[in-house]
Amino acid sequence: MTILAVSFTVSTSLWGWIALGVIVTALGLLIWAYARIKAWDMALRLAFVMKLLACLLLALCLAEPMFHRSRAKPGANAFAIVADNSQGMTIHDPGAENSRGEKMKDLLTPETALWLADLKDQFQVRQYSFDARLHRMSEVGDLTWAGQASAMYTALDTLNQRYQGRPMAGVLLFTDGNPTDFPSVQAKTQVPVYPVLNGADKKPRDLAVTHVSVTQTSFEDAPVTITADVAAFGYAGKTVIVTVTSEAGDRVSQESWDVQT
């Protein structure tokens, strides 16, 4: 991916090298001739400086320096806009009239987002949303904020694999900065990611299931073991009830958890 490339070159022709050698010799003779003068007055100093500048300018002209500046053709590189579509975006911050998702939608609406038109003039803009996984988004109206997860790192990994070897300038990530997954150790983002955080500076109280694993033996009547990692913020000293329900909504198991400080 190349947006702007700048280079500086000089002539490498045989005549250029010969002429440059002559100029260097002339400079040496000039310095040697003036070095023999015992008394220097203002006129001699001015003459020496003028001759020295003339030789340097002539050498520069014979070297034929060229300054090259190339810019990528508009639309040659892709730029991804990735928006959080999880239920967490329905949160209203204290004192806020609109939810986090509604604020984000205002930033992405073409009628009000003038920056979006400028971005489309320079890049192939691709819009995506993510919850448990990455989805292609045709317009901002596709955002429903009904996703039950905010797998931000998984979405970025998927996007990175999808555009592997293809020219991409960057990723504009709209999120509240509260993902439900963790970055993979092997994950390496090939393009710069520019996060646009939407939410209050003070983090609200939150409970999140960060990881779930299920194990079962091959025996028909063997019990199923469910292990879950739960993260809590703002619930220090409180007791949290964790309930496992079936697809029909029936309670299967329930455990209490005393959150430590």
Instruction: Give per-residue pLDDT as tens, 131-172.
Output: 999 999 988 888 999 998 899 999 999 999 898 888 888 999
Show me where the domains of the chain are located. Answer: 4-70, 78-197, 206-258
Residue in the structure block whose two tokens are 């329930």: 254
Read off the pLDDT of residues 159-214 as tens digits, 9 standing for 90 and up. Answer: 998 988 888 889 999 998 888 887 765 556 678 899 998 876 666 777 877 778 88
Torsion 100-199-134-124 (CA) sign: positive
Tokens read off for 234: 């703002």
Cα–Cα dist 242/41, whole Å? 95
How distant, in Å, are the alpha carbons of 25, 53, 141, 186, 233 from that of 102?
73, 65, 11, 34, 24
Average pLDDT of the chain, as a whole number: 81
Q: Which residues pair with 130 in a beta bridge?
A: 84, 134
Read off the pLDDT of residues 15-52 as tens digits, 9 standing for 90 and up. Answer: 667 767 777 787 787 778 777 777 777 787 788 788 87
- pLDDT at residue number 165: 84
Read off the pLDDT of residues 239-250 as tens digits, 9 standing for 90 and up. Answer: 988 888 888 888
pTM surpassing 0.95?
A: no
User: If residue 14 lies in a helix (H) or strand (E), which one and from where to where?
Assistant: helix 14-35
- pLDDT at residue number 224: 81
Q: Please, which residues have CB within 8 angstroms of residue 58's CB and are 6 or more apart in sequence?
A: 23
Candidates 3.40.50.460, 3.30.365.10, 3.30.200.20, 3.40.50.410; CATH matching 78-197: 3.40.50.410
Amino acid at 171: V
